[in-house]
Chains A and B, each alone.
Chain A
Amino acid sequence: MGLNEIKAKKNDLITYGIVIILFAIVAVMVATGMATRHMQSILVPVCINIILAVSLNLVVGFLGELSLGHAGFMSVGAYAGCLFAIYTADILPAAVRFPLAMIIGGVVAAVFGVLIGIPVLRLSGDYLAIVTLAAGEIIRSVIINLGFTGGAAGLKGTPQDSNFIIGFVVVLITMFVIMNFVNSKHGRAIKAMRDNKIAAESCGVNLNSYKLLAFVMGAFFAGVAGVLYGHNYSILTADVFDYNRSIEILVIVVLGGIGSIRGSIISAIIITILPEALRGFADYRMLIYAIALIVMMLLNSSEKGREILSKLNFRSLGSLLKNRGAKKEVQGNDE
């Protein structure tokens, strides 16, 4: 076994360790009554954001494409899962219904991932970002205008099955699947595509199917997170899955480090807790996100800034930007 694989494995184990230790701390706090009700109420959102960030990182960090429609997939999953749960509420016990709802939500989101992915496959870079953004908005408008989704008034009656422990288990499953995937033959092909499409293709990698695979996997977990979300509140409205939501997930990924799963997890925790902890600043949330993004981009665009970041051990942060720059250069070089 190569040194690199051992290192990758160790890295993964550290990430699992961090998540499990944090869970243990929170579980103890809840059990001993140290956590207030308010604190407990944000535990599930933290899990949801971790799942969203890790799955978006697969697309943004490893596939190297900017997807701005993650909230769209989340909403499709949420509605599919919640509708299933509402209709089977009397038939199935919660222990069967909820996992089934999550799988259904994930699968439906994945199907939408395929539907949107097929036209998107032909694009890359800015164009792909715009199409995914539009797709997310279309999904939202369609949901608002459909009857069986409850329309603008929202979908009521979803059993509130979400809790922190289930959220934690789903987080672990997401981490397991995506971290293993990234280190496998399939993950290598996707990373190779990110670094150089033409070379990857001439090494026998089928670009379209691998691009679609990464895209669909991201959509699946976004759908699962959506089901978790829908089961956490008594009412589900499509408005929460707007453009801002997609940007929020992207901000988490960029702040945590593009291509770093551990970074995404830590950043998801911080970004979810911060607005709650600083209630007074909640109105300025989007403003702070924008400023944070600008600062990250500025730091990444200068040599000195990257040096500072690498010292902070946020190594992979600037990689997306660098990669996008490099891609343009490569395109210019083609004969």
Chain B
Amino acid sequence: MMNNQEIKSHETRFVPIPSVSMLPERDIDKGPVLEVMHLGIDFGGLTAVDDFSIAIGKTEISGLIGPNGAGKTTVFNMLTNVYEPTRGTIMLNGKTTAGKTTAQVCKMGIARTFQNIRLFSRMSVLDNVKVGFHSNIDTSLFESIIHGGKYKRVEKETTEISMELLKFFNMEGLANAQAGSLPYGAQRRLEIVRALATEPSIILLDEPAAGMNPSETSELMENIRKIRDEFQIAVLLIEHDMNLVMNVCEGIAVLNYGKIIAKGTPSQIQGNPAVIEAYLGRRKDK
């Protein structure tokens, strides 16, 4: 379904690369940040995801959509090695994530948020962000106990960058609040801030707009673009809000029953008969 003719998107032109996906032209020289080939997972006899291949550019915002139960979150869980894939390879910046733990994958540069918010609810907002910096703080256990000069310096720096990150999302005033007491929208934002604190090269957002009202959603769209522009990282998001997906994403993959049924730009996806069928069903008289 990908033809070689040039397609004008709202911001960038896309160049197809063989068999996998399309990258924004600005990313072609840099290569993809995430390259997934023939990924699949079986739960017992059930094949949840099969032959999932995608490539995401270094600064691309891409979307993963599909009906409920299509396997979108399963893909995220495989990308972060929460589930070990049965088949296929995941290459992050040219390195495979096979055999790594979730924590190591995070260190390699994949950060994520969760569909059902998972904050450290009894810790302060600031501490939540600081946990995000965990892998990048190299104080030893001894320093943690003694609280010596190096510890104090590192801790001060961590606090400063954490506050900067919070400020970026207008949350600096909430730094000392308990994370569990935040309003819903702020909790979602905090999850993103915490994920960014791990200094990823790609951030996976699992239904970031779930439960948000239209004004919060449009703010979220701004934030997603801001993340890409300021941090120069890739974004892959799962979302049911088509308005958000079509406005923000530059490339979209559609998943149904664990298989990719379409890949392309928003306009290509909107006109794709297979996608329309997956969402709305086939017309009977024809």
Contacts and interface: CB of A to CB of B under 8 A. Distances in A.
B124 A4 contact: yes
Interface residues of B, dominant DSSP: helix
B244 interface: no
Interface in A155-205: 176-177, 180-181, 184-189, 191-192, 194-196, 198-205
A185 B139 contact: yes
Contacts of B141: 186, 213
Nearest to B73: A335
Contacts of B198: 203-204
B175 interface: yes
A188 B122 CA distance: 11
A196 B118 contact: yes
A4 B128 CA distance: 12
A36 interface: no
A202 B112 CA distance: 7
Contact of A188 (B102, B134, B135): B134
B269 to A, nearest CB: 24
Contacts, number: 119
B276 interface: no
B134 A203 contact: yes
B127 to A, nearest CB: 6
A188 B146 CA distance: 16
A292 B146 CA distance: 37
A332 to B, nearest CB: 10
Interface in A205-251: 205-207, 213
Contacts of A333: 116
B263 interface: no
A202 B106 contact: yes
A15 interface: no
Interface residues of A, number: 38
A201 B137 contact: no
Given A2-B126, A4-B175, A202 B131 contact: no
Contact of B131 (A5, A180, A192): A192
B171 interface: no
B69 to A, nearest CB: 9
Nearest to B175: A2
B107 interface: yes
B139 A199 contact: no
A1 B156 contact: yes
Interface string B173-206: 0011000000000000000001001100000000
A3 interface: yes
B178 to A, nearest CB: 10
Contact of B118 (A194, A199, A335): A199
Contacts of A194: 122
A124 interface: no
Nearest to B110: A202
A189 B131 contact: yes
Contacts of B111: 202
B114 interface: yes
B226 interface: no
B145 interface: yes
User: Which 7 pairs from chain A and chain B are nearest by CB?
Assistant: A184-B144, A204-B135, A199-B118, A195-B120, A204-B106, A201-B102, A192-B131
Given A184-B145, A195-B121, A203-B134, 5 more contacts: A2-B176, A188-B130, A188-B131, A199-B114, A335-B77
26 contacts: A1-B156, A1-B159, A2-B176, A4-B124, A7-B176, A180-B145, A181-B144, A184-B155, A185-B137, A185-B144, A187-B144, A188-B131, A189-B134, A192-B123, A195-B121, A198-B118, A199-B194, A202-B102, A203-B131, A203-B194, A203-B198, A204-B106, A204-B134, A205-B131, A205-B134, A213-B141
